[in-house]
Amino acid sequence: MPAIPMNKILATALFLGLLQTTLGQDKIKEFTQADTLRGTITPERSWWDVMRYDVYVRPVFEKKYTSGFNEITYTVVEESHPDKMQIDLQKPLKIDSVLMDGKEIKRYKRKGNVYWIETPPQAMGTEHKIKLYFSGKPHEAIRPPWDGGWSFSKDEQGRPWMTVTCQGLGASIWYPNKDHQSDEPDHGASLTMRVPKELTAVANGRLLDRTDHEDGTVSFKWGVENPISNYTIIPYIGHYVNFSQVYTGLKGKLDLNYWVMDYNLDKAKNYMPEEVHNMLDAFEYWFGPYPFYEDGYKLIEVDNTGMEHQTAVSYGNYYAPGYRGRDGSGTGLGLTWDFIIIHESGHEWFGNNITSNDLADMYVHESFTNYSETLFIDYIYGEESANEYNYGIRQGIRNDKPIIPAYGVNAQGSGDMYPKGGNMLHTIRHSIDDDKLFRNILAGLNQTFHNQTVDGPQIQQYFTEKTGYDYSKVFKQYLTTTEIPKLQLYIDWKNSLMYYRYTNCIEGFNLPLVLKGERESIRIAPDKTWKSTPITHRNQYLFTPGRIEKMYYLDVELLKNMEE
C-alpha cells in the first residue's frame, strides 16, 4: 500500500485541527504503510478477538538474547473474513514456528514488523489457539522508559537485572501479539519467565507456579484475571526480595506487595508503605475502588524512573520525594510526596482500567493521571495547595502542537497531554463548581468503563451527560489547538458593570466560569461577544486576573477601554 495520499491527510488534519509546525514550516507528516498497519484495525485484525495471552520467555543475559512463545486464545467475531491474520513482531526478533490448534502452520510471511499467518477456515463464534514461537536479540532500550525495549543492566552489586519498557513503541518489541490497544485479552494473561536459579522473576498479578529445572534454572509463572493492555505485561528479573501488607479499601482487603533489590529491603520497608497507603486513600476517594482487587497491587524496583504496568507498577525514584529530586511545579509542593508512586499508580485507574482504543487518545491516560497529582495534593493539603500546584506545572506546557494527533497511524500527540491536559481538567472542575459531582464523574467513569477500551469522545460525552452541560468545545479547544483562550475584562464604573468576552479561541468555546470568594461567588458564561454583570467594590476582587488564572487555564486581560 502506498503512503496515504496528501489530499486525504490534509482533509483529516483540517477536520481535526491538527496542522503542525516543524522546523518553522507548516507541514503534515506523511504516514507510511507500516504506520497504518500498526495503528489501524485492518481486516486481518478485525475478525478475531483476543481472549487470552499466555507468554513464555527465556532471556539470556550474557548474550542479550531471548526466546519463547505466545499462545493466543481468540474467538472469531466475523462471519466473513480473510483466511489470514496479522501478527506483530518487531525486528530483529523473528517467528520460528506457528501452531494453530496444535497443528503446525507453514504458510506465513513477513513484511517489516508484520507477519501474515494463513489460517484454515474458522466459523464465527468458535474459539481457537495460535502458538507463536519466537527468538532473537531484541531491541535494547537506550534510555528507558522513554526508549522502549529490553534492559540488560546490572544492579549496584554488578549482578544481572532485566526488564522491558514498551509503551507507545508496542509490546511487539519483545513478543508477538495483536499490537493494538483496542483489543485486550478478555480473560486475562500469564507470563512465564525461565531464569537462572539465583534470580527471581516477577510480573503482573499473582504468582501461579514456580518450577525448578534440572539445568539450574527456575520458571516463575505470574498471571492476571482482568483484561490487560499488552504493553503493560512486563517481566522483572533480578535479585528481588519481597514484603507484603494488606490494605483495607472500598472493596475489602487488597493485597499489597513490594519487590525490591535485596540490599534496599530496609530502606523500602521504611519508605514505600506510607506513600502507597496515602495514594490509595486519595485515589479511592476521588476515583472509586482500586480496579484490580482480584490481582492485587505491586510496586517493583527498576533501574529506570518507572512505568504504569498493570498491578506491577515499576519504581525507580531513589526512595525520595519529588521526581528524582525535582518538582515540576516549582512550588515546593512536588517535593513532599513521591511522584513516581503517585503518578504511575494513578494510571491503574486511567490507562489500565480505562484504556484508549487509539494511541491518539492517550490524553485519556495521561491528562487524567497528571491531574491525579493535583487531586492527591487536594486530598492531603487542601484546595488552595492544589490550585498552586496545578498552576505551577503550566511552566511545562509548550503549546508546540495539538494533544490529539492523527488517528489510525499509532501517532502520539504533544507531551502537553500531561500538564496542559491536567490544567484542562482543573479548569473544567472549577467550571462545574461541585466537587461531589466531579468526584462522581471520575468514579463513574471508572465504573462505567471498567476494564474497557474507549474512544476519547466517549469520555467527553460522559462529562456532558453527567453535568447537563456541553463541554465538547472546551475539550476541543485544549486538545486540538495550541491557542490559550483569552478572557478580556473591562470595568464600567459609571454603571457598575463588568464587561467580559473570550478571544483567541475556537468558534463556540463556551467555558462557564464560577468566580468564588469566601462568602460570595459570581457565575458568568462568556463567549466571543461582550457581556456584562453588575459589580461592586466589594466583589470586584473576584475578577482579579491572577485569581482567575489560578483556577482556569486562561490568559486574563484587564482592558482600559473596550476598543483595545
Residue 258 falls within a domain, yes or no? no
- What pLDDT, on the 0 to 100 scale, is given for residue 564? 60
For residue 21, name the pLDDT band (cuts at 50, 70, 90). very low
* Whether 130 and 233 share a structural domain: yes
C-alpha cell at 415: 507531551
- E-only strand ranges, 148-227: 149-154, 160-165, 189-196, 200-202, 206-212, 217-224
Residue 259 falls within a domain, yes or no? no
Output the pTM of the full model: 0.93
Q: What is the mean pLDDT of residues 538-557?
A: 96
Please say whether the beta carbons of 320 and 335 come within 8 A.
no
* Whether 474 and 490 share a structural domain: no
Residue 243 falls within a domain, yes or no? no
* Whether 454 and 390 share a structural domain: yes
Q: What is the mean pLDDT of residues 372-394?
A: 97
pLDDT for 6 beyond 50: no
Q: What is the Cα–Cα distance from 131 to 129, expressed in whole angstroms?
A: 6
Q: What is the Cα–Cα distance from 454 to 147, expressed in whole angstroms?
A: 26
* Whether 92 and 24 share a structural domain: no
pLDDT for 40 beyond 70: yes
For residue 59, which amino acid is it? P
Q: What is the mean pLDDT of residues 476-500?
A: 97
pLDDT for 155 beyond 90: yes
Could you tell me the CATH number of the domain that includes residue 65? 2.60.40.1730
Residue 251 falls within a domain, yes or no? no
Q: Looking at 441, 458, 481, which one is the last position of a domain?
A: 481
For residue 562, name the pLDDT band (cuts at 50, 70, 90). confident
Residue 367 falls within a domain, yes or no? yes
* Whether 305 and 424 share a structural domain: yes
Please say whether the beta carbons of 47 and 78 come within 8 A.
yes
- What pLDDT, on the 0 to 100 scale, is given for residue 26? 35
- What pLDDT, on the 0 to 100 scale, is given for residue 519? 85
pLDDT for 365 beyond 90: yes
* Whether 178 and 268 share a structural domain: no
Angle at 534 between CA 528 and CA 535, to 5 degrees: 110
Mean pLDDT of the chain: 94
* Whether 194 and 47 share a structural domain: yes
Burial class from Cβ neighbours inside 10 Å (0-12, 13-18, 19+) for residue 389 reads buried
C-alpha cell at 385: 495547595
Q: What is the Cα–Cα distance from 399 to 418, expressed in whole angstroms?
A: 12
Q: What is the pLDDT of residues 312-352, one digit of tens each?
A: 999 999 999 999 999 999 999 999 999 999 999 999 999 99
* Whether 93 and 51 share a structural domain: yes
Residue 245 falls within a domain, yes or no? no
* Whether 521 and 500 share a structural domain: yes
Cα dist from 379 to 4, 384, 524, whole Å: 48, 11, 28
Residue 564 falls within a domain, yes or no? no
Q: What is the pLDDT of residues 217-274, one digit of tens each?
A: 999 999 999 999 999 999 999 999 999 999 999 999 999 999 999 999 999 999 999 9
- What pLDDT, on the 0 to 100 scale, is given for residue 422? 98
pLDDT for 18 beyond 50: no
* Whether 22 and 48 share a structural domain: no
Residue 246 falls within a domain, yes or no? no
What does residue 526 show for φ and ψ, rounded to 5 degrees? -65, 155
Q: Structural domain tally of the chain?
A: 4
C-alpha cell at 498: 463588568
* Whether 533 and 417 share a structural domain: no
Please say whether the beta carbons of 489 and 499 come within 8 A.
yes
Strand partners, 490: 499, 559
For residue 466, which amino acid is it? K
C-alpha cell at 309: 504496568
Q: Looking at 420, 447, 481, which one is the last position of a domain?
A: 481
* Whether 273 and 394 share a structural domain: yes
pLDDT for 25 beyond 60: no
For residue 29, name the pLDDT band (cuts at 50, 70, 90). low
pLDDT for 7 beyond 60: no
Q: What is the mean pLDDT of residues 438-466?
A: 98
> What is the span of the domain harbouring residue 53?
42-238
Could you tell me the CATH number of the domain that includes residue 278? 1.10.390.10
